[in-house]
Amino acid sequence: MNYTLNDFRSTHNLINQYINKTPIISSKTFSDQLNLELFFKLELFQKTGSFKVRGALNKLLKLSENEKQKGIITISAGNHAQAVSWACSNFNVKSKIVMPYGASKSKVEATKSYGGDVILTKGPMMDKCNEIIEKENLSFIHPFDDLDIILGQGTVALEIIEKIKSIDYVFVSIGGGGLISGMACLFKSINPKIKVIGVEPINSNVMTKSLQSNKVETFDTHKNKTIADTLAAPFAGNLTLEFVKKYVDQIINVAEDEIILSMKEIIERLKILPEPAAAACFAPLLFKKIDIKKGSKCLVVICGGNVDLKTLKEIFWDLYVY
């Protein structure tokens, strides 16, 4: 768990030719409004529309030829599904993706379009995945609880420190915790004073509950719905829980209406379209759920932009119909 800057640089060198080096923008409007120096890392412009491709590529490239020849299987509600499907297709590796019944139609179709064989299940995704692995002997790529995945996702932080010096706070959304684990590990190895703040929907806060109980908790994502569907992890990870305990300073839970209004503000002010999971980590700043010294340098990770028109209509209909 004690990875260094060189570990993340080696990972970035491995995947660099396949990914986008996504932009970082500032916002005078939000900076003035919140009395902060505010930046946004735009991973919604990454391949497949989210940061997930970084970890998927790193893991796939680390597998042996025999493991790749068996074919790949994973579980995901959408973004990791697309990332694995896209990565496998680029290297002519077959992939099967177990997704929850009721997953966003656009994410299911996108995953299929990248070449993945999608299996929808009404039960626990991991149970279905293990059933298929037993029958077909496929190689499993975990969506977050894997060191190669964590190192890959952490390259987001590497690109940030190359552009912004002496950052004070970083806000990162949490689903299973792969992104914040890698990013927090790198930031703390560079400067322990950087505050890494995780953000979860209060309707799907499995990492918060795991920290409270000091053990890996599970979550019924069929019963506990959040508009930030890609943050609805059915369980925390053993590895990611340990990374979060060691490197993350605080986790803030945000309500559904706070996520929606944060998304609205980003669309209207930054002129980009984040998915709800990405907008969630702006909510603590927008709704002043954390005390930060005036003028502090803060960065919000816009982790993805995979949102369909049907979801947009459901989110914003009441806000704009008079």
Is residue 35 located within the same domain as residue 60? no
Q: Which of 140, 169, 199 is the last residue of a domain?
A: 140
> What is the DSSP-derived secondary structure letter of residue 223?
T
pLDDT value of residue 168: 98
Are 195 and 225 in a shared domain? yes
How far apart, in whole angstroms, are the C-alpha atoms of residue 110 and residue 98?
14
Domain boundary among 80, 114, 140: 140
Both 43 and 190 in a single domain? yes
Q: How far apart are CA 281 and CA 62, in angstroms?
A: 31
Same-domain pairing of 316 and 253: yes
8 A C-beta contact, residue 238 and residue 291: no
Statement to judge: residues 87 and 159 lie in one domain: no
The mean pLDDT value of the chain amounts to 94
Q: What is the CATH number of the domain that holds 72?
A: 3.40.50.1100
Q: For residues 246 and 165, which has the higher predicted lDDT (pLDDT)? A: 246
pLDDT higher than 70, residue 321:
no
What mean pLDDT do residues 139-152 have?
A: 97
Reported as a pLDDT band with limits 50, 70 and 90, residue 320 is low
What pLDDT is attached to residue 38? 98
pLDDT at 105 over 80: yes
State whether 22 and 100 are in the same domain.
no
Total structural domains in the chain? Answer: 2
Domain end position, chosen among 140, 161, 181:
140
Please indicate, yes or no, whether residues 45 and 57 belong to a single structural domain of this protein: no
At 197, list the tokens.
């703040």
If asked whether residues 37 and 165 sit together in one domain, one would say: yes
Q: Is it the case that residue 184 has pLDDT exceeding 60?
A: yes
In percent, the amount of the chain with pLDDT more than 90 equals: 85
Cβ proximity of 99 and 162 under 8 Å: no
Query: Between the CA of residue 171 and those of 129, 174, 286, what are the distances in Å?
Result: 32, 10, 12
**What band does 315 get if pLDDT is binned at 50, 70 and 90?**
confident
The torsion angles phi and psi of 139, rounded to 5 degrees, stand at -90, 130
Q: Does 88 lie in the same domain as 42?
A: no
Same domain, 13 and 114: no
Instruction: Please indicate, yes or no, whether residues 200 and 163 belong to a single structural domain of this protein.
Output: yes
Q: Per-residue pLDDT for 126 more than 60? A: yes
Q: List the domain range (segments joined by +) for residue 108.
A: 53-140
Per DSSP, the residues of 277-301 read: HHHHTTHHHHTT-S---TT-EEEEE
Higher pLDDT pick, 235 / 246:
246
Q: Taking the CA atoms of the chain, what radius of gyration do you get in angstroms?
A: 18
100 and 131 co-located in one domain: yes
